Amino acid sequence: MKYQDFNKKIIELVGGKDNVQAVVHCMTRLRFTLKDRSKAKTEEIKNMDGVVDVVSNDVAYQIIVGTHVNEVHSELISMLGISGESDASDKKVKKNPVKAVLDLFSESMTPILEPIIAAGMLAGVLSLLTLTGLVSAESPTYLLLDNIRSAVFFFLPIFMAMSCAKRLNASPYLAVALAAALLSEGINGVEGLSIFGISLPTTTYSNSFIPIILAVWFMGYVQKFLKKIMPQFLHYFLVPVFTLIICLPITLMFFGPMGAWIGNGMSYVCLFLMDTLGNWSVIALYAALQPFLIMFGAGNFIIPIVVQFHAEIGYDPVFYAACTISDIAVAGAMVGYFLRAKNEKQKQLFGTFGFSALLGVTEPAIYGAFVKFRRPFIAVMIGGGLGGLFAGITNVKTYAMAWGLAGLPSYIGNSDYKNFYSMIIAVIIGFVAAAIAAYILGIPKEKDEKSNDEKIAEVKAVDSEVNASIMKKTVINGCAKGDLIELAKVDDKAFSSGALGKGVGIVANTNSVVAPANGEVVTVFPTKHAFGIKTDDGVEILIHIGINTVELEGKHFDLKVNQGDMVTVGQPLVEVDFEKVKEEGYDPTIIMVVTNTADYLDVIPVKEDFITSEEECITVVL
């Protein structure tokens, strides 16, 4: 359980196990369905190590964690004791019907992206192999491997049936059985079919997804109805067979033609826009705006349209080319920021975000840099728009469902080298233009970018110039003599994350721990390892001696005060034999934080390497 502590904290902050109705995941984010979203502590989740950002909108409560989300999710659902999918017995939240349909498409497509991406990437590899002459397009090796690609799309209804069945209250296995029947040689695309003397329209179900979604939706109601009217002891034997006997004819008569009409309608709308506004305008617009769609969790809505394009005309004339151009423009913007940044930590961050975007995963960059600095959105609108404009003018086609840098070879398609070269140029334009724009726009200075010394100096300057009633500060001294370390480097996530307040860590070189300020000892833990002090100004200080030292149960701690005592700065609180603590295998770091940090304008630790109990350690701006 590599992410056990992380998931335990997530579960706690979203309102506990009982508040989680379902949780699925996409490329980088956990998508929660919460029973009461008001119970989620969004700001605390955002501050967790390992969380890039939190997006709460009508689609879902989304926690962005990165490309390792699959591992996090598998452990999370195990800890929650759920399947990871929506439970049909759970109470559903009423949604706008159009919104509900879009959510269904998005959530059903997400689990099957893995084989779709694999098929797209395989198409790219095969294109490279034929381009270099290593494998002939007529060779048995090529044909065998190409069958993987074609099979994924041919059997798309089966993948979709399994993915959406439980969300539509239907049995996944019966849904797959129905999809397999539709793809059989006796039904798929066969003319002259009839049932009970009624002629059936000719419909091709391979490479489609809408007919099976409609059929599985209907199947959910049929199963519910049959279970209601049949005796319990007959459910196991009769419900499955009657479900299939009822659903297959209805699908053949109604849902197959309806699915074809809807799919053709989506294609028609897109083609109409392309013919009316120009192909170039649609690709340029989508490439420029894709980061905004991803930010709002709406990036998957294009997948059904792309699938329909491939089924109808054999390629995608708009979206995946725009996606790739936009993704690589995001990488370009991060490279521009990488070149502009002077801070080594920022350089490392922008470099990581840029590499991820090159591979087609842009959420880390969008939530980690774009939302924070905003100007990269403009850079991608410029770069993506220009790259998309060129791709539209040259009529670039996407022959496989693959995007990002690794998907570029798939644009060769059926030896369509002009298409490939046009896409390469479009990608270069997007990357270079976004990088230049980001570099010129620059990195906005963050509000908290000033050093702690600068902050304290500003506070002191203001304090000397304005009336004390307008601005006051209180000073907290060190609680021990020793080496001072940043709170973020303390080996305890509860403290290092800042969730318990701002403060410092001290590695003491003496055994005495003293009061850092005048006040009342409001808490003394029975194990003598932690103290709560409330100063005369109302500042609440927690002094926690060592990490996990609660397990020592007071051993090696000699208490000097009691709860309720009034103490003065420098007065001993406890004597600790730190050598014995270390011999017992415990980290002896003293952690001192202001637990009511949120009540003040700022809490500013000093930036020193060494501290004594006579020196200022933390400045609290009241």
pLDDT tens digit string along 390-408? 998 898 888 877 666 767 8
Same domain, 121 and 223: yes
Same domain, 558 and 429: no
Residues belonging to the active site: 26
Q: Is 11 helix (H, G, I), strand (E, B) or coil?
A: helix
Residue 94 lies in a domain: no
Q: State mean pLDDT over 103-118.
A: 70
Q: State mean pLDDT over 175-203.
A: 89
Buried-state track 233-269, b at ≥16 Cβ within 10 A, e below 16 = eeeeeebbebbbebbbeebbbebbbbbbebbeebbee
Q: Is the predicted pLDDT of residue 269 greater than 60, yes or no?
A: yes
pLDDT at 179: 93
Secondary structure string (H, E, C) spanning 557-622: EEECCCCCCEECCCCEEEEECHHHHHHCCCEEEEEEEECCHHHCCEEEECCCCEECCCCEEEEEEC
pLDDT tens digit string along 562-587? 888 999 999 999 999 999 999 988 89
User: Which of 219, 254, 270 is the C-terminal boundary of a domain?
Assistant: 270
Amino acid at 172: P
Residue 584 lies in a domain: yes
Same domain, 529 and 489: yes
User: Does the predicted TM-score (pTM) go above 0.75?
Assistant: no
Same domain, 44 and 174: no
Q: Is the predicted pLDDT of residue 448 greater than 50, yes or no?
A: no
The CATH code of the domain that includes 514 is: 2.70.70.10
Q: Could you give the number of structural domains in the chain?
A: 4
Residue 446 lies in a domain: no
Residue 98 lies in a domain: no
The CATH code of the domain that includes 10 is: 3.30.1360.60
Domain range for residue 396? 278-441
Residue 93 lies in a domain: no
User: Which of 410, 441, 472 is the C-terminal boundary of a domain?
Assistant: 441
Measure the CA–CA gap between 574 and 560, rounded to whole angstroms.
Answer: 5
Measure the CA–CA gap between 297 and 310, rounded to whole angstroms.
Answer: 24
Same domain, 11 and 148: no
pLDDT at 90: 40
Residue 99 lies in a domain: no
Whether residue 131 contacts residue 412, with contact meaning beta carbons closer than 8 Å, is answered with yes
pLDDT tens digit string along 196-251? 888 888 888 887 778 888 999 999 999 999 988 998 888 888 999 999 999 999 99
How many Å is the Cα radius of gyration of the chain?
A: 31
Token representation of residue 600: 């003040």
Q: State mean pLDDT over 337-365.
A: 79
Same domain, 257 and 187: yes
- The residue length of the chain stands at 622
Whether residue 288 contacts residue 388, with contact meaning beta carbons closer than 8 Å, is answered with yes
Mean pLDDT is lowest, of 57-61, 186-190, 448-452, for 448-452
Same domain, 407 and 458: no
Same domain, 29 and 60: yes
Same domain, 433 and 460: no
Residue 236 lies in a domain: yes
User: Which of 270, 296, 320 is the C-terminal boundary of a domain?
Assistant: 270
Residue 566 lies in a domain: yes
Same domain, 257 and 212: yes
Same domain, 423 and 488: no
Amino acid at 4: Q
Same domain, 239 and 377: no
pLDDT tens digit string along 133-166? 788 777 888 888 888 878 887 888 899 899 888 7
* Residue of 128 and 505 predicted with greater confidence: 505
Q: What is the mean pLDDT of the chain?
A: 81
Closest CA to 322 of 399, 404, 265: 404
